[in-house]
Structure 1
């Protein structure tokens, strides 16, 4: 277990946590151990103790310079986070959920996660605790339930099974999938916040198409997103997701890497939000999915805006090749509240995203260069409108500035001088209309 030993040393579980334990029992369980058995590395470590681990977690955090906080006071669960520049490790400490470790492992979701390793200075293969044959399932690439009742105990595990199958590249064992199918209707009783957390991870996975097929087989579309309208279907949504995913893999994803911060609200990645928008655009739910999943208002508005952006909008970018940086910046701004996602959305729906990549990159750079306090400043401010044209009503000021921006986008106005002349001419025309006889 060289990989596991190297990880434990790098994360300072060896020797620091072992020293803090001073002989008290503690086991590494779950994902990090599963990944090590698969030959992969992890940044997240789940640690279980027979008693309340709060004091141990606090002492470990102090020793390694991490930040401790209480995740769940009722379950006595603690988390220790090491800053990214110091490694970015995350350690979750929790007491056993049963009288013994073996009983605790049997209460877990899948056998691949029901393995444990006692922390000690030495790491040997003989130390693996595997009462349910988790290692064999890991080696076979199978996800198997720990017991027949695991999905009824927590129906969210139905979605977790779909997510793990996608992220780990494993197949769900047939009897386990039957248990998931039986428990799927109980997802209706699971808190929306928990559901959207799992969905965010499902849509972030590269092979989301396989996950959508599994969700459909489980009858989850109606439970998660409500009924579709007569103009939508799950198949249409899945096809559009496949198109967006392909676009991200063939050029458009570079825009997200360069210009997006990567995470949306509720920990949805930018790519995951694009794929969710694609599913909704094809599925056409008859309910507000943002509200149903308890997404923030901003995220709900973003999903609606993306779905409203027609693919042909990208053709406008061609006309701006010689339009100047500010004009391109204004075009990007009008794509919506997250222009980077809006432009990526458009690129993904072209036959060849790479053909547009340089133009899109230039437009986004112009947009970033012109941003000031989160928006592109107007060529003329409201003070000039009030002083020169006598317009002091807020709504009218806003209308004038929006009209001016439209004139900039069309190429009729380029400089502050032209903007002033344009607005003066506009004001004169409005006055003439007011005094013309009926």
Structure 2
């Protein structure tokens, strides 16, 4: 991408002209951090960090109003705020913060790694100034080397140890020896970092492929028990890593095979901030290959939301018998949708996860699963495949009440899944016969 392309990208998004028009003549204002690094690596970026000597809150609010974005405060104490704007693939965020020191050089020295400690000045009415790189971050990028800005930065925020691991894998870097020593030394201090921050960084690590390399690094740095608690003291099993590898390969194949593009969108959606369905899928796959006790407790310790816990539980609750049932499903669309709807709180995730349990090639599994997903989407309304008969009909025609209605509808669904009931007329005939037989059995038992 390069610095020139980065400048054009900011112009295209409306960021650069809006900001430059708001800056006072002679003001010091800089684009810093990851966007500069990514530009030098020819990578696109949608997150932009800006730094200035004084409180930038009013500037950030004016910028949000100028581009029609949303402003909110991130850290009132440090006066850090964010502006989010754009739609869909053009959505972007801009973070505004004051210097961490009296000067720009002092601010960059207090950042985590040299590759994130470069800056570009924004000139009022002009645009980009020259690249500022006092810690030789550009040279480290060229050498593919991860190096701390100083020996203290990891101890001031131990979460940077996890961030360093993620950069190493994602950007294909080698950790400089003294930096690696500092990471080992600072790792035990991770226990004083808020669980929410650890969760977000760990989720970002799982988003990187192959995710196994991040997990191996966590084990190398003895971080697993600090992140997951006592359940992870046994370390990572080969089976867990193998299941994670297969999950990544299966997800990639499934999304590419789905020509509608709906699965790509589905797995990119977040269950909570920072944790997409794809990340939850990988996490469930890894857990299913581990011998961890108390997976739910691990997720609670990470302060994962109820939605994430339910999604992971739904996948981990699947059994081989359900994969076997999938191979014998009726060919009718509604019966397949009903079967999938019974898989739990996240049926689409569950259907996809069954691909890891099928004794088939990816091609055969996708050919089997994609029609089931299509049927589920087609027949599901308001989060559920509606029954052929309503509770009101059962109450009026059979005088059923309470739990008996649920039992009767459950029996009807099983008949549909088996392919023996395919329309409302057959459904009415079945429940009339079924309930008469049930009542007769009850009478005989009482007698």
**Normalising by the residue count of structure 1, what TM-score does the alignment of the two structures yield?**
0.92
Q: Secondary structure in 1 aligned to 2:132?
A: coil
Pair 281,249 (structure 1): closer, same or farther in 2 beyond 3 Å: same
Q: Give matches, 1:367-386, under 5 Å.
A: 367-386=376-395
- The equivalent residue for 1:34 is 37
* 1:283 is aligned to 2:290: yes
* 1:115 is aligned to 2:121: no
Q: Report Cα offsets for 1:168-222 as digits up to 9, x if no partner.
A: 2222223222222222222222221111111111111122121111111111222
The answer (yes or no) to whether the contact 1:252–1:353 under 8 Å persists in 2 is no
Q: Distance in 2 between matches of 1:265 and 1:249?
A: 19
Q: Distance in 2 between matches of 1:60 and 1:231?
A: 51
Pair 349,171 (structure 1): closer, same or farther in 2 beyond 3 Å: farther
Q: Give matches, 1:73-92, under 5 Å.
A: 73-84=76-87, 87-92=90-95
- The equivalent residue for 1:177 is 180
The answer (yes or no) to whether the contact 2:228–2:298 under 8 Å persists in 1 is yes
Q: Distance in 2 between matches of 1:435 and 1:123?
A: 87
Say which is worse superposed, 200-209 or 227-236, in terms of deviation: 227-236
- The equivalent residue for 1:188 is 191
- The equivalent residue for 2:21 is 19
- The equivalent residue for 1:313 is 322
Q: Distance in 2 between matches of 1:402 and 1:146?
A: 63
Deviation at 1:254, TM superposition (A): 4.4
- Provide structure 2 residue ranges, at least 5 long, that are not aligned to the other structure: none
The answer (yes or no) to whether the contact 1:27–1:116 under 8 Å persists in 2 is yes
Q: Distance in 2 between matches of 1:20 and 1:151?
A: 35
Deviation at 1:285, TM superposition (A): 2.1
Question: Which of the residues 254, 259, 270 maps onto 1:264?
Answer: 270
- The equivalent residue for 2:339 is 331
Pair 14,347 (structure 1): closer, same or farther in 2 beyond 3 Å: same
Q: Distance in 2 between matches of 1:157 and 1:303?
A: 27
- The equivalent residue for 1:426 is 434
The answer (yes or no) to whether the contact 1:246–1:348 under 8 Å persists in 2 is no
Deviation at 1:356, TM superposition (A): 2.5
Q: Distance in 2 between matches of 1:231 and 1:175?
A: 28
Say which is worse superposed, 104-113 or 75-84, in terms of deviation: 75-84
Pair 52,254 (structure 1): closer, same or farther in 2 beyond 3 Å: farther
Q: Distance in 1 between matches of 2:335 and 2:190?
A: 48
- The equivalent residue for 2:49 is 46
Pair 168,388 (structure 1): closer, same or farther in 2 beyond 3 Å: same
The answer (yes or no) to whether the contact 1:3–1:41 under 8 Å persists in 2 is no
Pair 373,168 (structure 1): closer, same or farther in 2 beyond 3 Å: same
- The equivalent residue for 2:9 is 7
Deviation at 1:339, TM superposition (A): 1.9
The answer (yes or no) to whether the contact 2:388–2:424 under 8 Å persists in 1 is yes
RMSD: 2.3
* 1:407 is aligned to 2:409: no
Question: Which of the residues 316, 337, 350 maps onto 1:342?
Answer: 350
**Normalising by the residue count of structure 2, what TM-score does the alignment of the two structures yield?**
0.90
The answer (yes or no) to whether the contact 2:225–2:232 under 8 Å persists in 1 is no
Q: Distance in 2 between matches of 1:435 and 1:40?
A: 74
Q: Secondary structure in 2 aligned to 1:227?
A: helix
Give the number of equivalent residue pairs.
434
- The equivalent residue for 2:397 is 388
Q: Give matches, 1:294-309, under 5 Å.
A: 294-309=303-318
Q: Distance in 2 between matches of 1:352 and 1:175?
A: 46
Q: Distance in 2 between matches of 1:291 and 1:312?
A: 29
- The equivalent residue for 2:443 is 435
Q: Distance in 2 between matches of 1:151 and 1:403?
A: 60
Pair 301,68 (structure 1): closer, same or farther in 2 beyond 3 Å: closer
Q: Secondary structure in 1 aligned to 2:77?
A: coil
Pair 254,289 (structure 1): closer, same or farther in 2 beyond 3 Å: farther
